[in-house]
Amino acid sequence: MSGIDLSKTLLNRVDKKQTDVQSPKTTQKEAVVELTKQINLYQSVAIIVGIIIGSGIFVSPVGILQNVRSVGMSCIMWAVCGIFSGLCALCYAEFGACIPQSGGEYTYIRRAFGDFPAFICLWTNFIIICPVSLAASCMIFATYILQPAFPDCETPQVATRLIAALVISLLVCLNCINIEWSSKVQVVITICKLSALLMIIVIGFIFQGRGGNSENVKESFSGSDYSAGAIAISLYSGFWAYGGWSYLNFLTDELIEPHKNLPRAIIISMTVVTCVYLLANVAYFSVLTPAEMLASSAVAVTFVDQTIPMAAWIVPILIAISVMGTINGGSLSMSRLFFVGAANHHLPSYISMINVRFFTPVPSLITIQIMCLIMQSFEEIFYLIELAGFGFATVLTCVLAGQVYLRYREPDLPRPIKLPIVLPIVILMASLAILVLTVYQKPIESGLGLLMMAAGAPLYVLGVYWERKPTIVRNYLGRFTRLVQKILYVCPQEDGREWT
């Protein structure tokens, strides 16, 4: 799967043109084709918060309420999910500090268990988690950005799919050109969505101060469902709402002082998101009854319609902007995962190459765009979200198991952050329990998820384990890789590091 080394040829051409193609930290004579450290602490926080806070808190924050059936238990479960996700994020922070390389969970599983489990993790992200999540987010963006133009009818499917394809293409283009621009866009989007949520929170508390929906306060736990199945499914819904906290670990190589900024960004982000989610739910319950929330197709729209009707038209636009932050951060982060996987020969080698002008992993980003466009063509895209959730839960369990195992196998590994060993063990047990309950509650979806993950095994044998491929196969792959290099103006990273 190897290609030609175009770095000298391409860099010589660039030097002759005397254009500034290197990163801010390199001179013209020292231009090196590699990913550069450009993401600071504030941008790191914006990336995490921007990915986590998507459409869920605006559109349908009722997944938990639907299962536990009371206001009080709903708020408790939101808090529990936030705390659990925060503790999981701290476990990832320990891994990220002691193994400061991009690739996130793929890199950690590879360090703990070897190539095959890491490949299955990479395959799960490549075929399920990344394209399904981004495709669904693009469809949601298109639906809500078009809603003001079609206030009294359903948005046309053709227009929705075209807008969905356009937004992923534009954001991938932005990430290809400049990661710093992409990070700044993420900061702006995060500020917008936090401002929108702050507006909802303030309005809710004003209504609560004037009496609000007193029945929700008096009968907070009336009709609660405390069964293990209801709690497990509500936890699953909550974890999906908090999903995205692990994505910064994919960008470790581009963080400034990752051993400091990675854990700081995770702690700050999870604290902010948990508080905002809780306060937003309290604000919703201050105005709406549980029945109104369950019946609403977009809770934020219903909320504003009952409080400030004249401003209801702007809510769909705010939802679309919020979802755009999730798409931007997701494509930025996941491209680095596939970049690292390809550098380890677990994906075609061209995916691990970098554009010599922009110093970004253009092939990896374009691969994500293509996979996303393919997933958008499926009619049942939102059904696939459940498979993506199961896949992530499985990967998370493997990462936690790897953390516990590495504590035993490599006790002397330098760990700038070292959590009490009991913490990852307890979280691992909880994650296993949730996974088992999910299989019990949704056997068909879980079975399909396992089948899609298992499909990576024969691909590993053919693509990775089988090294002595026929000459005709190697020649074909080499020609294809060289073609990609010429079209995308890319070459292998020049820093010579080993992605171990």
Kindly report, residue by residue over 137-162, the tens digit of the pLDDT: 898 888 888 888 887 777 788 998 99
Specify the residue for token string 């002082």: 257
Q: Where are the domains of the chain?
A: 37-492
With cut-offs at 50, 70 and 90, classify the pLDDT of residue 256. confident
Q: What is the DSSP letter of 465?
A: I
Residue with more model confidence, 367 or 449: 367
Q: What is the pLDDT of residues 436-492, one digit of tens each?
A: 887 887 788 888 888 989 999 999 999 888 888 888 988 998 999 999 999 999 988
With cut-offs at 50, 70 and 90, classify the pLDDT of residue 495. low
Q: Quick check: 264 pLDDT over 50?
A: yes
H or E segment and range at residue 286: helix 258-287
Q: What is the mean pLDDT of residues 53-65?
A: 77
Rounded Cα distance between 168 and 163, Å, is: 9
Least trusted range by pLDDT, from 20-34, 217-231, 407-421 = 20-34
How many other β-carbons are positioned within 10 Å of the β-carbon of residue 380? Answer: 7
Structure tokens at 216: 């929700």
Percent of the chain with pLDDT over 70: 88
Nearest 5 degrees, angle CA 40-CA 45-CA 46?
95
With cut-offs at 50, 70 and 90, classify the pLDDT of residue 216. low
Rounded Cα distance between 184 and 186, Å, is: 5
Q: Quick check: 177 pLDDT over 80?
A: yes
310, 76 Cβ separation under 8 angstroms: no
Enumerate the β-bridge partners of residue 354: 491
pTM value is 0.81
H or E segment and range at residue 13: helix 7-17
- Domain 37-492 = CATH 1.20.1740.10: yes
* pLDDT score of 364: 94
Least trusted range by pLDDT, from 332-341, 343-352, 379-388 = 379-388
Closest alpha carbon to 329 in 120, 56, 134: 134
* pLDDT score of 4: 45
Q: What is the pLDDT of residues 10-42, one digit of tens each?
A: 444 434 443 343 344 444 445 565 666 778 888
The backbone torsions φ and ψ at residue 39, rounded to the nearest 5 degrees and listed phi first, read -95, 115
Q: Quick check: 165 pLDDT over 60?
A: yes
Closest alpha carbon to 6 in 485, 460, 373: 485
The backbone torsions φ and ψ at residue 490, rounded to the nearest 5 degrees and listed phi first, read -125, 160
Percent of the chain with pLDDT over 90: 25
DSSP string, 41-105: HHHHHHHHHHHHSSSHHHH-TTHHHHHH-SHHHHHHHHHHHHHHHHHHHHHHHHHHHHS--TTTH
* pLDDT score of 10: 42
Q: Quick check: 51 pLDDT over 80?
A: yes
Enumerate the β-bridge partners of residue 492: 353
Q: Quick check: 498 pLDDT over 60?
A: no
Q: What is the mean pLDDT of residues 418-447?
A: 86
Q: Quick check: 77 pLDDT over 80?
A: yes
Least trusted range by pLDDT, from 14-28, 246-260, 288-302, 432-446 = 14-28
Least trusted range by pLDDT, from 57-61, 125-129, 169-173, 257-261 = 57-61
Q: What is the mean pLDDT of residues 324-343?
A: 90
Q: What is the mean pLDDT of residues 405-426?
A: 89
75, 242 Cβ separation under 8 angstroms: no
* pLDDT score of 381: 64
Q: How many CA atoms lie within 13 A of 400 on its CB side?
A: 24
